[in-house]
Structure 1
Amino acid sequence: MIKPLDYRKPIEFTVPAHGDGAFYVMEDVGHDFYGYYHRHREFQITYIVEGDGSFMLGNLLRPCSANQIFLIKPNDPHLFYKDENKDENAKIHVVHLFFSLEKLSPFFDMAELQNIRSLFYNIPSSKLLLAEYAVAMKDLFLTLDREDGVHKLACILEIFNYLQQQESELISLYSGLHNVDFHDADGLRINTVVKYAIENYKKNISIEEVSSLVHMTPTAFCKFFKKRTKKTFVSFLNEIRIEKACQLLVNKRVESIAEAAYQCGFNTAVHFNRVFRMIMHVSPTTFISQRAVDR
């Protein structure tokens, strides 16, 4: 997304709206996603035009790929990160649409927009629209940053209307966090830990090692992380590892389940199988066979 500026807090991202417009569009083209675990007060709709990777929302992890649309609720902490197996120069192209539900309340009060209002104001969790349904909106998202005035508003309303029509196809992305209230210092610590885990999941990361990054004792860090994410750091790290393993297995980038285990930071295939089954609720072998049928 935006290049980080010194005055921005990683967890408290400020949408840099220019002028008096009710909607702000940001089109990012580069070699990586915005690299901070962050949140903001605006509703966010993101269309991934090009690029593959993972999406973290609260304490939820899942793959993300081209032509998917993400509806992200206000204040839901989130992070997109690139598939590390892609060439470092592989293109990332994303279009983000931001708007304030509070400021736009009178606008959505119009009788003609009641169904759309319900979609955004009553949404129980952030949502995902898969590529098979989202791709119909690709051209509209690509024109957003080049439109202005009435034409821009017409495009946005068309996108809103389409999303409302596809509401039954939206997949819930429950973040696992209630009433998240990070102080700035907490946000900096969480961001440091998340980035370190994502970048080093292949290594044997100890609690002592990660707690020292945020200048806390291991005991204090464990309590801090569990309170902020509702899960232990070990559980969080294992979910990153299993999510990465799933990508390797589905895309046939490894020759065996054992190789996927070792590449993703597990010392033994037995431990990997146990953790995989606990997180995915199926064995790695069953997971592979199910994805083969889906394709």
Structure 2
Amino acid sequence: MKALPFKIPKTQHNAILFQEDSSTLFYDKLHQHEEIQISCIIKGEGTLLISDTVHPYKQGSVFVIGSWQPHVFRSIYRNGEISNMFSIFFSPSSFGETFFNLSELQKTHAFFEAATYGFQPTIRTDDLVSIFYKMQSASEYDRLILFLELIKLLSVNSKKLLTTGLFTQILSEHEGKRMSEIMDLILTNFHKKLSLEDAVTTANMTKTAFCKYFKNRTNRTFFDFLTEVRIHHAADTLLRYPDLPIQLIAEQCGFNNLSHFNRKFRHYKDTTPSAYRDSQGS
């Protein structure tokens, strides 16, 4: 299966595709596709890497991924437990060039504007999850009606944008494979000691070429991106395991110095680890 680009198996007679992924691990290669993707996590937890950012996900999380945004859902493997995700794939043009420009659908423009960056709805997620469950067994006609209801709710919902919008490239298969291997290195080994040489070897590039390549595609240095991944995992672990000592969490996420961890955590989260745990966990 090609890493990038990724072909969505939608027939020419269907405007939308409903897909259910059920496995111990979701498809774990960085990929991109033309279709807008709306995904709902039914069961499981892990990390969504999208373009130049990382975000934790868990049961009930809903994400909108824009056209051609490189992304991968990296599941946390837990003793063979199954992860389950429902997704809708569609291209606006499948409905005709002017459908979403109709005056009756003017409110959907907020959805498509935010989808350019990718976004996560922040309220009424239970209503969104309910629609996905109904879609699972619905006829094609009813599924289309439910899809429009889903777009309606997502259009008026409060939104957390997922990316900076700076990454707009459509990657070649070769580039996609290279980026996938680099991201796999980071997401699989962030808790270990990772060096620039490890990344350079994985990418099969010189150090100078790699640093320029990575910065151009993520708007971050390799170590800035690695640190951000570590902080995201640390923040998630702080809330999932409220009794776990902060120093142990720092070590498990790749920090061997507590003061350095505290300083980086404050930089990314604007608060201390203990204050974050107290405020988010309450």
Tell me the equivalent position of 2:86.
Answer: 95
- 1:58 matched to 2:51? The reply is yes
- 1:24 counterpart letter in structure 2: L
- 1:18 matched to 2:11? The reply is yes
Tell me the equivalent position of 2:107.
Answer: 115
Structure 2 residue runs of 5 or longer lacking an equivalent are: none
Deviation beyond 3 Å, 4+ runs, structure 1: none
Q: Any conservation in 2 of the 1:57–1:175 contact (CA below 8 Å)?
A: no
Measured after TM superposition, the shift of residue 146 of structure 1 is 3.0
- 1:146 matched to 2:148? The reply is no
Measured after TM superposition, the shift of residue 229 of structure 1 is 0.9
Identical-pair percentage: 28
What is the alpha-carbon distance in structure 1 between the residues aligned to residue 278 and residue 134 of structure 2?
40
Q: Any conservation in 2 of the 1:176–1:229 contact (CA below 8 Å)?
A: no
| Alignment TM-score, normalising by the size of structure 1 | 0.88
What is the alpha-carbon distance in structure 2 between the residues aligned to residue 53 and residue 254 of structure 1?
20
What is the alpha-carbon distance in structure 1 between the residues aligned to residue 206 and residue 4 of structure 2?
22
- 1:89 counterpart letter in structure 2: G
Q: Any conservation in 1 of the 2:215–2:222 contact (CA below 8 Å)?
A: yes
- 1:211 matched to 2:214? The reply is no
Q: Any conservation in 1 of the 2:52–2:217 contact (CA below 8 Å)?
A: no
Tell me the equivalent position of 1:125.
Answer: 117
Aligned-residue CA RMSD (Å): 1.9
Deviations 1:235-259 (A, max 9, x none): 1111111111112211226632211
What is the alpha-carbon distance in structure 2 between the residues aligned to residue 80 and residue 122 of structure 1?
23
Secondary structure in 1 matching 2:63: strand
- Give the total of aligned pairs: 280
The equivalences for 1:60-99 within 5 A come to 60-84=53-77, 87-99=78-90
Secondary structure in 2 matching 1:122: helix
What is the alpha-carbon distance in structure 1 between the residues aligned to residue 53 and residue 139 of structure 2?
36
What is the alpha-carbon distance in structure 2 between the residues aligned to residue 214 and residue 158 of structure 1?
44
| Alignment TM-score, normalising by the size of structure 2 | 0.92
What is the alpha-carbon distance in structure 1 between the residues aligned to residue 135 and residue 226 of structure 2?
37
- 1:268 matched to 2:257? The reply is yes
Deviations 1:10-52 (A, max 9, x none): 1311111135101111111121222011111111111111111
Structure 1 residue runs of 5 or longer lacking an equivalent are: none
Q: Any conservation in 2 of the 1:254–1:260 contact (CA below 8 Å)?
A: no
What is the alpha-carbon distance in structure 2 between the residues aligned to residue 47 and residue 226 of structure 1?
31
Secondary structure in 2 matching 1:178: coil
Distance 1:286 1:253, change over 3 A: closer
Deviations 1:140-164 (A, max 9, x none): 2123243333222112122222223
